[in-house]
Amino acid sequence: MTDSFQKASDAQSGRVENFDAIVIGVGVSGLYQLYRLRELGLSVRCLEDGGGVGGTWYWNRYPGCRFDSESESYGYSFSKELLQEWDWKEHYSGQPENERYLNYVADKFDLRRDIQFNSRVTSAVFDVRANRWEVRLESGQRMRAQFVVAAVGILSARNIPPFEGVDSFKGESFHTSRWPKEKVDLTGKRVAVIGTGATAVQMIPIIAKEVGHLTVFQRTANYTAPLRNSLVSDETQRRFKATYPEIHKRCKETTGGFLHDFDRRAALDLPREERRAVYEQLWSLPGFSKWLGNFRDIMTDRVANEDFAEFVREKIRARVKDPAVAEKLVPKDHPFGSKRVPLETEYYEAYNRDNVQLVDIKETPIERITPKGIKTSDREYEFDVIIYATGFDAITGSMTRIDFRGEGGQSLKDKWANGMRTYLQLVTAGFPNLFIATNTAFCNYTVCAETIVEWIADCIRYVRENGYSRIVATPQAEDEWVAHTNEVGSRTLLSSANGWFVGGNIEGKARAFLLYANPAPAYRAKCAEVAAKGYEGFVLQ
């Protein structure tokens, strides 16, 4: 019987399959979680909405999509064999290659046999008497498991703003995270891009060369920095493979899990000329060096931040020929790094092209989408294609779009209505045996995702080996963690902007620190300490 026939017949017959654990999502975290749980000898079913593995790297197929992390620091570190087998072709690897990598991992570790694709989870209800979750799919299929691990991604619930008339547009429209697998031919077309976040910044310079005319609708100008990508030479490839232990050790020690780390000096302790020399040096380096390799107070001191922000503004002005366009592209209303800094390649040069126009929608807001295009407060623009590069209902959206029901039938969506509430970013009180395997530390994705996945696997093993059937965080531990997260976040400049880090990108979304802003080593140490103390802050039964 084929998989889809099996599913259809299960849905019709009401047959409920049983597993030790269900993993929702098969991106970077879910794939590794499956591997670790299987290593424990658990029966596991992995449920994936998409038609293949990869999560972010499956869905985001828009032109120009790539890592902003150094490739050698983003790949998994758990398998020495894998590290030696895989060659990274670019220093900042592109989506097609990243998807191939994750498929290679799935095949190498024979993970596919436990993955059910095209399976969207709609609800998960905890049965307090049986200590099991009942998970239901859009198809009607049901299954039960003692543990559920939600590896649902931090940036997977796409955000299409509720513009009036969205469905009335007669041309083609795409959200960047649902870009079709088949090539989208933009040749000669009139194209709109709404949004200027990390996604748009990667995509715009590439499609600008292809389209007939491109109109970019910008709500907030962003600080960006040059990516400076290049091919990995054979010699560098050999160096990666020979020094992976050092690479991973470094990523475990740095503030954000990257190869970069903050300069221990305070910016303003240096005379202006010396500071400038440091900025120029950082600017010439690839990747996030300009953000995460900057002076230590860049994320905490407004004056230090403004000093660097002004340097970035000068860099933008120097690249855009039309001073009026340049001024629109220069960010002035939030500190550098308080939103995720997009890394770019020829982004500003795109605005020097005759076929690219920038529309500032703070000056002339979008009033509605029309059958022909986009109507702002001053005119209607006609398009063949509208591209929504409008981001995500980050971190909480991928959880709350599943109807999780915990003890007493409590809904997670209701519980988080005023902001995310977790203990250790990993669990939430009132929802036993549910783990959140997404990296919400301020940390290079895979680096901390591995830690989180391993922590969850160890916790599940502990529960089983000690004869317990459930584990749940106490409300008190959660309260303390939320207060601590807010306190740590408020020491930084992260709340000074309206980005997804704090839920500020979505109208009506409660503002909260969604990322844990303490340095990654401190986060790792805290999680390890909780485990070492027999899962302090949890009730085990």
Q: Does 391 bind ligand NA7 (CB under 6 A)?
A: yes
**H runs (alpha helix) in 374-519:** 397-400, 412-415, 445-465, 475-490
| x/- track of binding to ligand NA7 for residues 324-363 (CB under 6 A) | ----------------x--------------------x--
Q: Which of 220, 224, 440, 518 lies at the binding interface for ligand NA7 (CB under 6 A)?
A: 220
Q: Does 500 bind ligand NA7 (CB under 6 A)?
A: yes
Region of 190-198, 233-241, 281-289, 417-425 interacting with ligand NA7 (CB under 6 A): 190-198
Tokens of 432: 């036993």
Q: Does 199 bind ligand NA7 (CB under 6 A)?
A: yes
Q: Does 197 bind ligand NA7 (CB under 6 A)?
A: yes
d(CA 281, CA 393): 36
**C-beta of 68: minimal distance to ligand NA7 in Å?**
7
Q: Which of 29, 93, 146, 196 lies at the binding interface for ligand NA7 (CB under 6 A)?
A: 196
Is the CB of 299 or the CB of 473 nearer to ligand NA7? 299
Region of 132-140, 272-280, 344-352, 390-398 interacting with ligand NA7 (CB under 6 A): 390-398
Phi, psi for 451 (deg, rounded to 5): -60, -45
Q: Alpha carbon 266 to chain centroid distance?
A: 30
d(CA 204, CA 176): 12
The DSSP element (H or E) to which 34 belongs, if any, is helix 28-39
Q: Which of 29, 390, 428, 438 lies at the binding interface for ligand NA7 (CB under 6 A)?
A: 390
**C-beta of 352: minimal distance to ligand NA7 in Å?**
20
**C-beta of 389: minimal distance to ligand NA7 in Å?**
6
Q: Does 195 bind ligand NA7 (CB under 6 A)?
A: yes
**H runs (alpha helix) in 166-253:** 198-208, 234-253
**C-beta of 469: minimal distance to ligand NA7 in Å?**
38
Q: Facing residues of 134 across strands?
A: 125, 144
3-state secondary structure of 191: strand
d(CA 125, CA 152): 17
Which residue has the closest beta carbon to ligand NA7?
197
Of 435, 425, 429, which is closest to residue 461 (Cα–Cα)? 435
**C-beta of 197: minimal distance to ligand NA7 in Å?**
2
Q: Does 256 bind ligand NA7 (CB under 6 A)?
A: no
| Helical packing angle, 445-465 and 28-39, nearest 10° | 30
Beta pairing class for 172-175 and 385-388: parallel
**C-beta of 495: minimal distance to ligand NA7 in Å?**
15
Q: Does 155 bind ligand NA7 (CB under 6 A)?
A: yes
d(CA 178, CA 189): 20
Region of 142-150, 188-196, 477-485, 527-535 interacting with ligand NA7 (CB under 6 A): 188-196
Q: Which residues contact 160 (CB under 8 A, 6 or more apart)?
A: 166, 175, 388, 390
Q: Which of 36, 190, 219, 290 lies at the binding interface for ligand NA7 (CB under 6 A)?
A: 219
**C-beta of 161: minimal distance to ligand NA7 in Å?**
3
d(CA 283, CA 261): 15
Region of 19-27, 38-46, 84-92, 497-505 interacting with ligand NA7 (CB under 6 A): 497-505
Q: Does 521 bind ligand NA7 (CB under 6 A)?
A: no
Is the CB of 219 or the CB of 415 nearer to ligand NA7? 219
Q: Does 198 bind ligand NA7 (CB under 6 A)?
A: yes
Is the CB of 404 or the CB of 500 nearer to ligand NA7? 500
**C-beta of 31: minimal distance to ligand NA7 in Å?**
19
Q: Which residues contact 307 (CB under 8 A, 6 or more apart)?
A: 267, 268, 275
Q: Which residues contact 420 (CB under 8 A, 6 or more apart)?
A: 395, 396, 512, 514
CB atoms inside a 10 Å sphere around CB 314: 11
Please report, as ranges, the residues that interact with ligand NA7 according to CB under 6 A: 155, 161, 194-200, 219-220, 340, 361, 389-392, 498, 500, 505
